[in-house]
Structure 1
Amino acid sequence: MIDETPEILFPLSFFQDSPTVELPERLTVLEAVIFKQTVSNLLQQNISHQQIVLDFGKTRFIDSSGIGALIANSKSAQEKNIELILESVQPPVMATLSMTGLVEVLNIRSSAKWSRKEPPETHPSVRSIIKRLIDIIGSIIGLTITAIILPPIAIAIKVNSPGPIFFHQTRCGWMGKKFQIWKFRSMCSNAEALKKQIENQASGAFFKNDKDPRITKIGNFLRRTSLDEFPQFWNVLKGDMSLVGTRPPTPEEVEVYQVPEWQRLDVKPGMTGEWQVNGRSQVRNFEDVIKLDLRYQRNWSLGYDLKLIFKTLIIIFNKNSGAM
């Protein structure tokens, strides 16, 4: 049997003892894995160079796996006190780095002329104007309902457990961009501090415990009915999330991602999606989460989104449904 997998090369050259790595035209999962390994090998060598130059002159596309490899290489270089420099960054890549906020973090020495009006090449669900319009309309309706149910929920939370009404937490969205997710508080006010004391019943890069003692009595009701997630309509209106997408991970989860696992960040996170509809709280293996998220990306269409929203509405009224 002949292996038809294309050979991916990262030509290496040296100038004044500083290595320059030439990147390919596309930096997706296959290239990203090799890219991370190439830079890792350089960092492990006993070479006296103080910087590594990444030549993006040929690169016209970068996805979330490429972003993940770039971030991982940057952190590894910092640990070795070696400067990682991006050179000749092209407009499509600059657009992606700008939208994710990485232009403020990475050392970009030179780039081609770029206009902020130039959108990056992304997953069609992120580019869809109609999907965004549905998100805006849905979030406005959702926020209207949230305003109606806010008073009784706020009173119940306050009576049941001292602390704030809302809970916010940093999550990672499209391409790993960080944002603050909002929920009605369903746990005790010091839940984050107590997390290390709770057994994680899931395997891989996410946390789950069916009988988490941090959940309050009213919090259990809010989670069972998914009412705790209604403030996330604000995240949808802002554009950090979508009505339908993938599960939004925490930075701690993303920190331990392998390069291929970054693929799940190619789309915006959603209030619902494959993971919530097909298994929900019964999912225990992170690999299964990845499979469901990638299935959503492959099958995405506006009709598919509406189908998942309809399924979600049915599950909300199922007494066995869990929480995200």
Structure 2
Amino acid sequence: MYSEVIVLQETTLIQVPQRLTVLEAVEFRKTCQELCQADSPPGKIIFDFSDTTFMDSSGLGALVSNFKLTKDKGIDLLLRDVRPQVMAVLSLTGLNEVLPIEQTLSTEAAKTTEKSEIVPPPTHASIYSWIKRSLDVVGAIVGLAITAILFVPIAIAIKLDSPGPIFFGQVRCGWMGKKFRMWKFRSMCANAEQMKSQVQNQLSGPLFKNDNDPRITRVGRFLRKTSLDEIPQFWNVLIGEMSLVGTRPPTPDEVEKYDVPEWQRLDVKPGMTGEWQVNGRSQIRDFEDVIRLDLKYQENWSLMYDLQLIFKTIFVVFNRNSGAY
């Protein structure tokens, strides 16, 4: 079922379908684009969510895209009668505080909505799997113990090599686009973020990579080669922001460039490792390859699959020709 459009004088109402996943989301975005780019665009567009009970990351991506488009065109936008299931998704990213929302439900229905426990939708079987979460917790505890043992020599090496903090925290986008701070041992100079614009990007699409990035320190190259720079992420896994195995965690500026179907990769938690890690992360040059690997993980996920990727990662880390740079 695709979006139904109702024209009411200067206002156009778009009835959002019951499920807003990738197919419906593409059509939803297309419908809004056609309205905004018409010779006589409406002065106001209302997205009626009264029937919508499920929205995944693709639906969220379409909504964000439509919000930006209407804002650029000077068209008023209103979300009407957002159900708790959708409100939970908007709350993850703080969009419930940004998007104009109007509730016109009956008094009894409104009370039911207020009392409802807002739980984000199970966009993927792995999201609420207690077995996967148990594996994450056990693995994170073991990983943090290893991190504690290695902390002193790594910290001393970082400090002796270049001035600046020991840890580097970077904002990334997790499940459904929720932002979190991902931790690493610092492998670049302290002002690396400010220097990024001066470094040539050798990759296509939203990704950023330079094989000879001048911002990387001598110790940093060793940490990256051995993947030791990433072990503080066990903390992100322990508190539930990441998983041991998942998709590659993107930066917000990468997500800003996503097309609607590419938001699908946010249907699962980002991982410390995954298909992109064991299939030559340093050799991946095309963003489409990242998408392909992330979707492959989602399609094939199982506990055994996670364990296989963990063991493959260990092999990759100890293979001196496969580290990152």
TM-score of the superposition, structure 2-length normalised? Answer: 0.93
1:58 and 1:323 mapped to 2: Cα distance? 47
The answer to whether the 8 A contact 1:125-1:267 is kept is yes
Q: 74, 84, 88: which one pairs with 1:95?
A: 88
1:260-283 deviation digits (Å, cap 9, x = unpaired): 111111101000000001122111
Query: In the TM superposition, what are the counterparts of 1:25-104 in structure 2 within 5 Å?
Result: 25-47=18-40, 49-104=42-97
1:146 and 1:107 mapped to 2: Cα distance? 45
User: Is 1:109 aligned to residue 102 of structure 2?
Assistant: yes
Classify the secondary structure of the residue corresponding to 1:13.
strand
1:121 and 1:91 mapped to 2: Cα distance? 14
> Shift of residue 77 of structure 1?
1.7
2:44 and 2:141 mapped to 1: Cα distance? 49
Consecutive unaligned residues in structure 2, runs of 5 or more? none
Query: In the TM superposition, what are the counterparts of 1:125-140 in structure 2 within 5 Å?
Result: 125-140=126-141
2:122 and 2:53 mapped to 1: Cα distance? 9
Q: 2:35 is matched by which residue type in structure 1?
A: L
Q: Which residue of 2 aligns with 1:322?
A: 323
Q: 2:259 is matched by which residue type in structure 1?
A: Q
Classify the secondary structure of the residue corresponding to 1:207.
coil
Count of residue pairs the alignment pairs up: 317
1:30 and 1:278 mapped to 2: Cα distance? 29
1:252 and 1:146 mapped to 2: Cα distance? 29
Runs of 4+ in 1 over 6 A off after TM superposition: none
1:164 and 1:302 mapped to 2: Cα distance? 37
Quickly say closer, same or farther: Cα 1:15–1:27, change in 2 above 3 A: same
2:144 and 2:199 mapped to 1: Cα distance? 33
2:74 and 2:241 mapped to 1: Cα distance? 34
> Shift of residue 40 of structure 1?
1.6
Q: Which residue of 1 aligns with 2:213?
A: 212
Q: 1:236 is matched by which residue type in structure 2?
A: V
Alpha-carbon RMSD across the aligned residues, in angstroms, is: 1.7
User: Is 1:247 aligned to residue 248 of structure 2?
Assistant: yes
1:303 and 1:21 mapped to 2: Cα distance? 43
Q: Which residue of 1 aligns with 2:278?
A: 277
Query: In the TM superposition, what are the counterparts of 1:216-235 in structure 2 within 5 Å?
Result: 216-235=217-236
Larger deviation, residues 84-93 vs 257-266:
84-93
User: Is 1:163 aligned to residue 164 of structure 2?
Assistant: yes
1:197 and 1:119 mapped to 2: Cα distance? 40
> Shift of residue 16 of structure 1?
4.8
The answer to whether the 8 A contact 1:139-1:234 is kept is yes
1:129 and 1:87 mapped to 2: Cα distance? 35
TM-score of the superposition, structure 1-length normalised? Answer: 0.93
The answer to whether the 8 A contact 1:61-1:121 is kept is no
